[in-house]
Copies of this chain bind each other. A is one copy, B any other.
């Protein structure tokens, strides 16, 4: 069915899992579940859970087998968006075409909804259902890797550096370091986790390397699209990076070189995967990421 079809199908699948995990009936007005649901079901692309699913296929498991880790990474990602959008942080009013959590529920509830999603992510990784499918020692290792990727040496470090760099002219090496932590670490973890769960170290290494290149390619293309893209398609304002004088790849190296760098990461990502059929979806994902809309 091709990558767009697979992405659409798995997006609906993940949406359904979230609906089942946090049903509308649990989200009464004024509850933290209401705010959790609002952000979880706010038109997310589900890239991170899709990487877990594709990584699962790469190591020969079914999509259903990695349901809980897929939900865990989406919960982690959503918590980070809610907290990043807060007035004290990036102070964003809109996200994916909808008002941000604190605009709808107030700051206190937005902070708590983020906290609850972060906690729920680790709860999902420790879900007894997962132990029926994978060795417990591997589950614990996967959970540890996820905690490292999202903690003070990963996602949170990236956000700290991002806030510290505001209004400063970053060099290319610093920009890459921010992205490696802020978005890259979790993307790499999404890909390593299925390999860790089945205990395949060679696959873990390959998927980790693939994830590293995917993460950087993703960010470069995002920067390019922010510069040239259509605001409606992006679901957010474009040209904002330039207005804010934010360091971006096109800004630091020129549009042509930024495109070239994205293509280099695509080639290296393909190389990391090897040529087998089990990598078909992942190959499609990096191609789709780099080729979108330019």
Cβ of A109 under 8 Å from chain B: yes
Q: Which of B88, B119, B123, B136 contacts A137 (CB 8 A)?
A: B136
Cβ of A36 under 8 Å from chain B: yes
Which chain A residues (193-215) contact chain B, with CB distance < 8 Å?
none
Question: Is the pair A120, B32 in contact by a Cβ cutoff of 8 Å?
Answer: no
* Chain B residues closer than 8 Å to A119, beta-carbon distance: 118, 147, 150-152, 156
Q: Which of B108, B123, B128, B144 contacts A163 (CB 8 A)?
A: B108
Cβ of A172 under 8 Å from chain B: no
* Chain B residues closer than 8 Å to A32, beta-carbon distance: 152, 156-157, 160
Cβ of A159 under 8 Å from chain B: yes
Cβ of A237 under 8 Å from chain B: no
What 1/0 mask marks residues of chain A from 87 to 123 whose CB sits below 8 Å from any chain B CB?
0110000000000000000111101101110111011
Which residue of chain B lies nearest to A114 when distances are taken between CB atoms in the complex?
A: B115
Question: Is the pair A126, B111 in contact by a Cβ cutoff of 8 Å?
Answer: no
Which chain A residues (19-75) contact chain B, with CB distance < 8 Å?
30-33, 36
Copies in the complex: 2
Which residue of chain B lies nearest to A150 when distances are taken between CB atoms in the complex?
A: B119
Question: Is the pair B150, A112 in contact by a Cβ cutoff of 8 Å?
Answer: no
Q: Which of B86, B116, B136 contacts A156 (CB 8 A)?
A: B116
Question: Is the pair B147, A136 in contact by a Cβ cutoff of 8 Å?
Answer: no
Cβ of A140 under 8 Å from chain B: yes
Cβ of A127 under 8 Å from chain B: yes
* Chain B residues closer than 8 Å to A36, beta-carbon distance: 152
Nearest CB of chain B from residue A10's CB, rounded to whole Å: 26
Cβ of A289 under 8 Å from chain B: no
Nearest CB of chain B from residue A197's CB, rounded to whole Å: 13
How many angstroms between the C-alpha atoms of A30 and B164 in the bound complex? 8
How many angstroms between the C-alpha atoms of A131 and B109 in the bound complex? 36
Which residue of chain B lies nearest to A118 when distances are taken between CB atoms in the complex?
A: B118
Cβ of A77 under 8 Å from chain B: no
